[in-house]
């Protein structure tokens, strides 16, 4: 099986100093790994993906490190690692920071490939000893022909028809190259499920506005497209929009 010739784009590196006690930092110690973008196209350079990883310091951490491995899940066999010397190096944070994030982009993906990124996270103390190590694998970026890509791009509100309610408008956008059919959309207000609907068809490049009735928002809203992942997409990691309460219009 031929392996794609990968073009490794410049990664975006963030190292932030966060105030707070060591106990607070340890309580928040975790990792994040997601597909930030997944682009399909007719040429190799158009077929690309960006994966974002983040980690938090644990007690005794002097430096944090990540190493990325691209995995191709296509076909009936076991997933295979894509050989890429550019991905072999460890990405390292500055000394003494509390959070470390890195965005790794790859291009030149094969048509028909189903790509994920495996990341090894490790925490190192001041003497260079590894005090913790975790390995995670992201969701997939699919390069399988004409697939949709769904996202919630806007949530708006206006006064409801009865006291204590609001009418919510949720924009569902398909940025993929394939149509999406029977897409469930859910809205949560202040953490509780408020309403749900199903959109019969969202064409490529189309935005459909879905309207809900729910309680008046006091803290936050969350809208989710295809929460059970029943619709196959190029990117399953961008279907949720969280925001503070929208300004109520007329």
Give residue limits of the domains in the chain.
7-142, 150-244
Q: What's the pLDDT tens digit per position in 128-156?
A: 999 999 999 999 999 877 889 999 999 99
Query: Average pLDDT for residues 226-241, to the nearest whole number?
Result: 91
CA 230 to chain centre: 17
Token pair for 219: 């803290």
Ramachandran region of residue 143, left (φ > 0), alpha (ψ -120 to 50) or beta?
Answer: alpha
Q: In the structure, what pLDDT confidence band is assigned to residue 44 with cuts at 50, 70 and 90?
A: confident
Query: Average pLDDT for residues 82-111, to the nearest whole number?
Result: 93
Query: Average pLDDT for residues 94-111, to the nearest whole number?
Result: 94
Query: Average pLDDT for residues 186-198, to the nearest whole number?
Result: 96
Radius of gyration of the chain (CA): 21
Q: Are 170 and 155 in contact (CB under 8 A)?
A: yes
Q: Are 219 and 133 in contact (CB under 8 A)?
A: no
**Is 70 exceeded by the pLDDT of residue 167?**
yes
Q: Which has the higher per-residue pLDDT, 247 or 15?
A: 247
Token pair 């006291």: residue: 163
Same fold, 7-142 and 150-244: yes
Token pair for 52: 């974002």
**Is 50 exceeded by the pLDDT of residue 26?**
no
CA distance 50 to 57: 23
**Is 90 exceeded by the pLDDT of residue 86?**
no
**Is 60 exceeded by the pLDDT of residue 21?**
no
Query: Average pLDDT for residues 193-221, to the nearest whole number?
Result: 96
**Is 70 exceeded by the pLDDT of residue 238?**
yes
What class does CATH assign to 7-142? Answer: mainly beta
Asked if the 150-244 domain carries CATH number 2.40.30.10, the reply is no
**Is 50 exceeded by the pLDDT of residue 102?**
yes
Mean pLDDT, the chain, whole residue set: 87
Q: In the structure, what pLDDT confidence band is assigned to residue 16 with cuts at 50, 70 and 90?
A: very low
Q: Are 230 and 224 in contact (CB under 8 A)?
A: no
Token pair 């809900």: residue: 212
Ordered alpha helix ranges (H), the chain: 22-27
**Is 60 exceeded by the pLDDT of residue 240?**
yes
CA distance 47 to 1: 18
CA distance 231 to 180: 7
Q: In the structure, what pLDDT confidence band is assigned to residue 41 with cuts at 50, 70 and 90?
A: confident
Q: In the structure, what pLDDT confidence band is assigned to residue 14 with cuts at 50, 70 and 90?
A: very low
Q: Are 138 and 33 in contact (CB under 8 A)?
A: yes
Query: Is the CA virtual torsion 203, 207, 208, 212 positive or negative?
Result: positive
Q: Which has the higher per-residue pLDDT, 197 or 5?
A: 197
CA distance 97 to 102: 14
pLDDT value of position 201 = 97
């Amino acid at each position: 099986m031929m392996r794609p010739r990968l073009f490794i784009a410049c990664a975006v590196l963030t190292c932030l100093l966060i105030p707070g006690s060591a106990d607070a930092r340890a309580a928040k110690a975790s990792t994040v790994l997601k597909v930030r973008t997944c682009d399909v196209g007719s040429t190799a350079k158009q077929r690309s993906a960006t994966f974002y990883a983040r980690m938090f310091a644990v007690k005794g951490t002097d430096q944090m490190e990540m190493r990325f491995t691209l995995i191709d899940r296509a076909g009936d066999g076991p997933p295979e690692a894509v050989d890429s010397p550019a991905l072999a190096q460890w990405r390292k944070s500055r000394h003494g920071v509390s959070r470390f994030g890195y965005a790794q982009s790859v291009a030149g993906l094969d048509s028909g490939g189903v790509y994920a990124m495996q990341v090894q996270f490790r925490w190192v103390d001041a003497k260079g000893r590894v005090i913790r190590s975790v390995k995670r694998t992201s969701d997939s970026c699919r390069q399988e022909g004409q697939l949709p890509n769904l996202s919630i791009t806007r949530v708006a509100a206006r006064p409801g028809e009865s006291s204590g309610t609001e009418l919510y408008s949720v924009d569902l956008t398909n940025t993929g190259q394939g149509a999406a059919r029977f897409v469930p959309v859910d809205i949560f207000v202040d953490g509780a499920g408020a309403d749900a609907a199903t959109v019969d068809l969202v064409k490529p490049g189309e935005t459909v506005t879905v309207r809900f009735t729910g309680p008046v928002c006091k803290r936050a809203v969350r809208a989710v497209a295809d929460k059970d992942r029943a619709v196959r997409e190029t990117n399953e990691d961008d279907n949720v929009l969280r925001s503070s309460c929208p300004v109520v219009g007329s």
